[in-house]
């Protein structure tokens, strides 16, 4: 993922059309596909497992980012690495020893990310920030696509920008949840390096055009 990146969440995609959707994501020049992994415990929803990710990997060389909304992420890292993910983002709120989960992601040779729910305070990442490739600021409570962007997130993005430079971290800041052309612009102006967008893109008339438009409106 590069700065000014667009990542497409396929959580709400019509999976009967997934081959075409992946082609459209490539045509639109997106930087990555965001895979929302849910275990029915950390969030009250279920989504994809490693088998599905492996099938997506066969379709494309685009970067695959797994966002693990699961209670015990450590148990699934190898499975998602073997399935072909390029980065693994785990939640700070998962009840685990986070440093060892990040060690394991490093050992697997993947990029490590840490996601924060809207209610989680930023200072909690302090001791981990230097070893992260990305920080994912959630602007919805995770679990479902199509929710409304929580506006307070904008202040948190600004704060994250300041904090990571103060801490000497070069982590990218991503924003996930309720991103459309308007909210994405506020997030980008506040300092986001990449935006994750699902329903706004998937419900658009033409996905490749919507991806290009989002990039132009937010980072152009």
| 95 assigned to active site | no
Residue 28 backbone dihedrals phi, psi, to 5 degrees:
-75, -5
- Does 128 bind ligand DX5 (CB under 6 A)? Our answer is no
Residue 87 binds: one of ligand DX5, Zn ion, none (C-beta under 5 to 8 A by kind) = none
- Choose, from 36, 65, 86, 193, the residue flagged as catalytic: 36
Among 24, 31, 36, 163, binds ligand DX5 (CB under 6 A): 36
- Choose, from 39, 86, 176, 193, the residue flagged as catalytic: 176
Among 1, 32, 34, 164, binds ligand DX5 (CB under 6 A): 34
The least CB distance from residue 25 to Zn ion, in Å, is 15
Contact 104/125 with Cβ under 8 angstroms? Answer: no
Residue 116 backbone dihedrals phi, psi, to 5 degrees:
-125, 125
The SS3 call for residue 132 is coil
- Does 186 bind ligand DX5 (CB under 6 A)? Our answer is no
- Does 63 bind ligand DX5 (CB under 6 A)? Our answer is no
> In a 10 Å sphere around its CB, with 0-12 CB exposed, 13-18 middle and 19+ buried, how is residue 197 labelled?
buried
CA angle 137, 215, 16 (to 5 degrees): 80
Kindly indicate which of the ranges 51-59, 151-159, 192-200, 204-212 contains the residues binding ligand DX5, using the contact rule CB under 6 A.
Answer: 192-200
Residue 11 binds: one of Zn ion, ligand DX5, none (C-beta under 5 to 8 A by kind) = ligand DX5
| For the chain, counts of helices (H) and of strands (E) | 8, 8
Burial 57-81 (b: 16+ CB within 10 A, else e): beeeebbbbbbbbbbebbebbebbb
What's the CA gap between 77 and 173, in Å, rounded?
Answer: 22
Residue 146 binds: one of ligand DX5, Zn ion, none (C-beta under 5 to 8 A by kind) = ligand DX5
| 176 assigned to active site | yes
- Does 67 bind Zn ion (CB under 5 A)? Our answer is yes
The least CB distance from residue 165 to ligand DX5, in Å, is 26
Among all residues, which ones are annotated catalytic? 36, 176
> What residue ranges bind ligand DX5 (CB under 6 A)?
9, 11, 34, 36, 67, 140, 142-147, 176-179, 196-200
């Amino acid at each position: 993922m590069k700065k000014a990146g667009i990542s497409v969440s396929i959580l709400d995609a019509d999976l009967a059309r997934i081959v075409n959707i992946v082609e459209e994501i490539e045509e639109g020049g997106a930087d990555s596909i965001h895979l929302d992994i849910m275990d029915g415990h950390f969030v009250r929803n279920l989504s994809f497992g490693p088998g599905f990710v492996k099938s997506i990997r066969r379709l494309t060389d685009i970067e695959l980012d797994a966002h693990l909304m699961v209670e015990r992420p450590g148990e699934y890292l190898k499975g998602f690495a073997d399935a072909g993910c390029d980065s693994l983002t785990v939640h700070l709120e998962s009840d685990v020893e986070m440093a060892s989960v990040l060690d394991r992601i490093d050992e697997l040779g993947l990029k490590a990310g840490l996601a924060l729910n809207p209610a989680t305070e930023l200072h909690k990442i302090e001791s981990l920030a230097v070893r992260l490739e990305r920080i994912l600021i959630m602007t919805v409570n995770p679990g479902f696509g199509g929710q409304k962007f929580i506006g307070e997130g904008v202040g948190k993005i600004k704060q994250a920008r300041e904090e990571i430079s103060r801490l000497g971290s070069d982590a990218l800041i991503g924003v996930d949840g309720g991103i459309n052309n308007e909210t994405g612009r506020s997030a980008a102006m506040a300092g986001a390096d990449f935006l994750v967008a699902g329903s706004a893109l998937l419900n658009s008339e033409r996905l490749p055009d919507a991806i290009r438009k989002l990039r132009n409106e937010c980072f152009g």
